[in-house]
């Protein structure tokens, strides 16, 4: 583009100077014709000389007129002004008296030529300056970022190898690197697909294993339970005690098996949540029925808040999480009170189970969701809260506890994006629950 612009500038300058010469020639020729017309009608040389002198005075650029005659000497009329030979214009005109040569002053034409040449040079210099600025701007705004992108891609693809040498075709290098990126992406997608297929196979295999283990263990346990249930100890108090211990052990063994199998199902990835729209009170009904017997036996008052709150979740998994947290609170608070609340925080749902029981020591709070971590005064094997944590993880939430020894505990689980509809004052007011 710079070469084209320079060529156009030079061509324009040449055409301009040619136009100046043509214009000067045309003016000198017109003046020569006017001067030649003054020679008609004169018979003496003095009259012709006077006519030429008068014509020269009226056509100032023409400084000299020479009438070349074949049968007489040349007739020369000069204005007396000295002209530089290189700045004169000579025009020849045919007349009845002979050939008339007029010599005009070309100083103005010369000055116009010099001015045109300077303008052409300035235009060429402007083109070169614009080219230099454009090239620098192009390097700074286009070439340098493209080079930086090439180096970044090269560094990403070849972190342990020497980078490509500079000075080559950057676009070709980028195209080569992009081909490598495409190939790398294809290999990554293939590896990811293989890993996913392997993971699905592992999940299916682990699911079958859990189901087979459950079947193999449940069958003898059920048979043993039926056998023990059919035993009649009679009036022997020792046999009655042994039989009661056997029944209690079988019950606890069944609960342990259920807890282990449930954790295995979650760890194997065999549990997939199926979310539906529901009202919190639907979950409260199931939770209240599950813990009603234990709450009555231990004399615990259970209060429920937020039953009108709509949410979208898996009712089975969320209901099981609610049941485990409430059962844990009831067992921790004999003859106390438990508050169960489902609150809305923006688009999140927060489940809170608060009790005024014995509370937890700080060292126990960090381990309460681990497997086989038994809380003080709780029967069982310490699997309920471990399963609750796995349920929360499966639903994509977070679970935690805040507790003060002797003042009770607050177990909470929060789930983003589970709330339905816009927040209202009623749901916001639920965060201000009455004190226990």
Per-residue pLDDT tens digits of the chain, which is 436 residues long: 778 888 888 888 888 888 888 888 888 888 888 877 877 777 777 787 787 788 777 777 777 788 887 777 777 787 766 767 777 888 888 887 778 888 887 778 888 888 888 888 888 888 888 888 888 887 788 777 777 777 777 776 666 554 445 555 666 777 777 788 788 888 888 888 888 888 767 766 666 666 666 666 666 766 767 666 767 666 667 777 777 777 766 666 666 666 666 666 666 666 778 889 999 998 999 888 888 888 999 999 999 999 899 999 999 999 989 998 998 899 888 889 999 999 999 899 999 999 998 888 887 887 888 877 777 666 666 778 888 898 899 899 999 999 888 888 999 999 999 988 765 444 444 444 443 3
Hey, which bits of 219-291 come out as E strands? 276-279
Cβ 146 vs Cβ 170: under 8 Å:
yes
In this structure, what token pair is assigned to residue 49?
């000389």
| Confidence (pLDDT) at 4 | 87
The CATH code that applies to domain 272-429 is 3.30.565.10
3-state class (DSSP) for residue 431: coil
The two tokens of residue 85 are 């030979």
Is-contact 366 258, C-beta < 8 A?
no
Distance, CA of 155 to CA of 157 (rounded, Å):
6
Tell me which residue of 346, 368, 343 sits closest to 433, measured CA to CA. Answer: 343
Give backbone dihedrals phi and psi of 94, rounded to 5 degrees, phi first.
Answer: -85, 130
Residue with tokens 């006077």: 50
- Kindly list the strands in the beta sheet with 398-404, ordered across the sheet, starting from the edge strand earlier in the chain: 301-305, 337-345, 348-355, 408-415, 398-404
The label of the residue with tokens 């990554």 reads: 188
Residue located via tokens 């340098």: 144
CA distances for 202 relative to 198, 384, 396, angstroms: 6, 26, 22
Distances (CA, A) of 149 to 13, 170, 180: 44, 10, 14
Helix intervals (H) in 76-169: 107-138, 144-157
Instruction: Note the CATH architecture for domain 2-110.
Output: 2-Layer Sandwich (3.30)
Please tell me the predicted confidence (pLDDT) of residue 280: 92
Q: Are 381 and 372 in contact (CB under 8 A)?
A: yes
- pTM for the whole thing? 0.49
User: What integer pLDDT is reported at residue 258 of this predicted model?
Assistant: 67
pLDDT at position 278: 92
pLDDT of residue 383: 77
């Amino acid at each position: 583009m710079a070469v084209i612009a320079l060529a156009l500038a030079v061509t324009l300058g040449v055409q301009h100077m040619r136009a100046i010469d043509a214009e000067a020639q045309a003016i000198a020729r017109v003046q020569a014709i006017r001067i030649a017309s003054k020679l008609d009608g004169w018979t003496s040389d003095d009259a012709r000389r006077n006519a030429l002198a008068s014509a020269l005075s009226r056509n100032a650029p023409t400084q000299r007129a020479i009438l070349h005659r074949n049968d007489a000497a040349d007739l020369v009329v000069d204005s007396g002004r000295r002209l530089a030979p290189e700045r004169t214009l000579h025009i020849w005109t045919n007349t009845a008296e002979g050939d008339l040569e007029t010599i005009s002053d070309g100083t103005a034409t010369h000055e116009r030529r010099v001015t045109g040449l300077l303008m052409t040079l300035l235009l060429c210099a402007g083109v070169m300056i614009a080219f230099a600025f454009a090239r620098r701007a192009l390097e700074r705004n286009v070439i340098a970022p493209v080079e930086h992108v090439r180096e970044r891609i090269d560094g990403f693809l070849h972190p342990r190898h020497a980078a490509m040498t500079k000075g080559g075709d950057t676009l070709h290098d980028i195209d080569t690197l992009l081909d490598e990126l495409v190939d790398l992406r294809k290999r990554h997608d293939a590896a990811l697909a293989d890993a996913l297929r392997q993971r699905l196979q592992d999940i299916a295999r682990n699911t079958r294993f859990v189901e087979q283990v459950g079947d193999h263990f449940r069958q003898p346990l059920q048979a043993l339970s039926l056998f023990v249930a059919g035993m009649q100890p009679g009036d022997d108090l020792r046999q009655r005690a042994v039989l009661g211990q056997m029944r209690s052990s079988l019950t606890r063994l069944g609960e342990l098996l259920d807890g282990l199998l449930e954790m295995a199902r979650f760890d194997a990835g065999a549990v997939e949540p199926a979310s539906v729209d529901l009202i919190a009170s639907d979950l409260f009904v199931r939770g209240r029925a599950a813990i009603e017997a234990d709450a009555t036996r231990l004399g615990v008052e259970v209060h429920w808040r937020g039953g009108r709150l709509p949410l979208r979740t898996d009712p089975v998994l969320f209901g099981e999480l609610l049941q485990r947290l409430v059962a844990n609170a009831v067992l921790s608070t004999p003859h106390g009170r438990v508050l169960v609340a489902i609150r809305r925080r923006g688009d999140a749902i927060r489940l809170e189970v608060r009790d005024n029981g014995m509370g937890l020591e700080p060292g126990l709070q960090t381990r309460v969701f681990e497997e086989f971590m038994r809380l003080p005064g709780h029967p069982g094997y310490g699997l309920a809260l471990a399963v609750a944590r796995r349920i929360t993880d499966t639903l994509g939430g977070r679970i935690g506890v805040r507790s003060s020894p002797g003042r009770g505990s607050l177990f909470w689980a929060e789930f983003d994006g589970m709330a339905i509809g816009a927040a209202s004052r009623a749901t916001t007011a639920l965060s201000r629950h009455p004190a226990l």
